[in-house]
Chain A
Amino acid sequence: MADAVFLALAVITIGSAIAALEMRSLIYGSIALMGTLGGVAGFFFLLDAPFVALFQIAVYVGSIAVLILFTVMLVKRELIFKKIEDKRRKFAGIGLMLIIMVSLGAVFLDSGIKTITTDEPAPNFRDIGIDFVTYYWPALILMGLLLAGSVTGALVLAKREDVENDQRAS
């Protein structure tokens, strides 16, 4: 069962990733990209990490994909897209991909992934949270400050200065 699901997810993820690269229509390409990101979320579900999977869906499919769609819709395609395509580039790309895949695969196989027992209980996300506030608290606080800074920056950027005071929404 799990193997069949894994194979199906792998086909969906890789197939839609190839489609996202090869589609002529940018909108369909970004929809295929959503398929890829959703497939990755499916892998997280298979790995007993629903917390990560749901965040993957909420953030990547829900927000990043919307951002890409929005950008694609508002930009004229001819301006960003010049057709540079020949056989040599294609073969070079495929060769590069094969080299990267083989070397990554060698690293994975060498890393002792075969000796991992797979029937251990899934890590609880509560334990991860407890670790975050006890052992890893400096990292958590750093992340919090970073995110707070970026949110404040976004709010400041969003506030337009060129609007007259009486035109400002109140």
Chain B
Amino acid sequence: MSVIAPKFKLSEFIKSLLDNIFWIMLIVVLVGLPAIMMILFVIEMPVIDGELLTPFLAFTWMADPTRILPVVHAFMATDIFKVIAFPGFGFAALLAAGTIFVERKMLAKLQLRVGPFYCGKFEGILQLMGDGLKLISKEIIIPAKADKPIFWAAPVLFVAAAASFVAFIPVAPGWVVADVELGLLGVFAVIGFFPIITILSAWSANSKFPFIGGIRALFQMVSFEIPLILSLLGVVMLTGSLNLSEIAASQSVFPWIVFLPVGAIVFFITMLAELERIPFDLPEAESEIVAGWLTELSGMMYGLVQLGTYLKLYAFAGLFVVLFLGGWNGPMVVPPFPAELLTGVEMGPVTIGPFPGLPLFDQAMLNGTFWFVLKTAGVIFFILLPRGVFPRIRVDMLLNLGWSKLIGLAFVNIFIALGLLYAGVLGPGGLQ
């Protein structure tokens, strides 16, 4: 037996589990149930089908699919579900987590390493969970001379800005958190917040490496915002709309990348710069300035910034898909929902169903989501790929690229769009 941890035994572990279960049950019986009863005493419960709705009856109904499926169906139409789960935060965070794992694994393969291997039985698939647990359990260290309110607020603001960026991305027809008329302008407004948060976080740490990184991030993001906005104007001109859902729906015949390849390339390069990916990762150049503007962040604050970074990556990839690759449009590959389940199935003596509210997702939505996720995964792959291929470029090369080459190419793209519009190839009277 080990001297350092004498209680590190399986039997002790099982005993601690049983202890925990015992105490939880005790607290529920002595505190939880009386509290529920006292609350029920005050609240007037509804009467449904001649029965008073008590918690016990509600639990009974939860096991009945004909009762619970319409509730789930109605819940999925609410805004809360959209914000938390499907086109919003949960979906994006899931894709972001997948992106982190694929990035580590793919980078390792490109460099002839193995990558995460031991955590989880198969190819280190649980590595991300382990990393998350480690980050949560670590101590958050704040530098002594830091500006504490800004230092605490910056990671939270970063995630909030990234999540509000995600809210604009339409995933399937009708499935978008914020379907606003001026969605693209909203995206520009949200992108404008990232440099502020970065420079405030960098300044508030009161340390030299974060400050250098923050200044670089500011240079890079502010100067690349201009070609970013200009490169998207061509799509807006051809579509005649700023609503991202309308832009995606307008590409049912062909994606805009067919006509505006220059704009797509410019947008892709500016996207890499805004995301601080290699070859434009000067703000967090780990071989020069420790970790750039993330140097002083520790524990879950670093985790939050990483989460925000990958949410932003997903959102930019989704924006590229919506604007240039046709969004959710694609051939129908999802089979139709089996009609027997709607009317009820007879299996010998037993009849199952009919289940009201059963097609939880209709066919168009599943198909749209499939194509959107497929295209987004492709774009994310091309965002990740340069990290294994290119070295980092110098800051003067970066600024030169942004100010003199990309802006010029973006104007070329605008003139291509105008030419197509006035020649009558596209737009009213043309192909669309």
CA distance A34 to B153 in the complex (A): 15
Partner of B185, one of A58, A66, A170: A58
Q: Roughly how many angstroms separate A161 CA and B193 CA in the complex, as a whole number?
A: 33
A65 to B182, CA, bound (A): 23
Q: Is the interface of A mostly helix, strand, loop or mixed?
A: helix
Q: Are B180 and A50 in contact (CB under 8 A)?
A: yes
Within the complex, the shortest CB–CB distance from B128 to chain A, in Å, comes to: 32
Complexed CA–CA distance, A24 and B351 (Å): 76
Q: Are B199 and A58 in contact (CB under 8 A)?
A: no
In the complex, are the beta carbons of A66 and B180 less than 8 A apart?
A: no
Chain A neighbourhood of B195, CB < 8 A: 62, 66
Interface residues of A in 131-159 (CB under 8 A from B): 151, 155, 158-159
Tell me if B200 and A54 are in contact (CB < 8 A).
no
Tell whether A109 is near chain B: CB-to-CB under 8 Å. Answer: no
Q: Are B199 and A66 in contact (CB under 8 A)?
A: yes
Give the size range of B's interface with the partner: 20 to 34
**Would A51 and B185 count as touching, CB distance under 8 A?**
yes
Bound CA span A65–B186, Å? 18
Q: By the criterion CB–CB under 8 Å, are A66 and B196 in contact?
A: yes
Q: Are B196 and A69 in contact (CB under 8 A)?
A: yes
Interface residues on A, range: 20 to 34
A20 at the A/B interface (Cβ < 8 Å)?
A: no
Among B181, B185, B407, contact of A55 (Cβ-Cβ < 8 Å): B185
A124 to chain B, nearest CB (A): 10
Residues of B close to A57: CB separation below 8 A: 189, 192
Which residues of chain B are within 8 angstroms of A73 by Cβ–Cβ distance? 199, 203
B64 located at the interface, meaning its Cβ lies under 8 Å from any Cβ of chain A in the complex = no
Chain A residue numbers with a CB within 8 Å of B396 are: 169
Say whether B199 contacts A155, CB under 8 Å: no
Q: Which residues of B contact A (CB under 8 A)?
A: 147, 150, 180-182, 185-186, 188-189, 191-193, 195-196, 199-200, 203, 218, 222, 225, 394, 396-397, 399-401, 403-404, 407
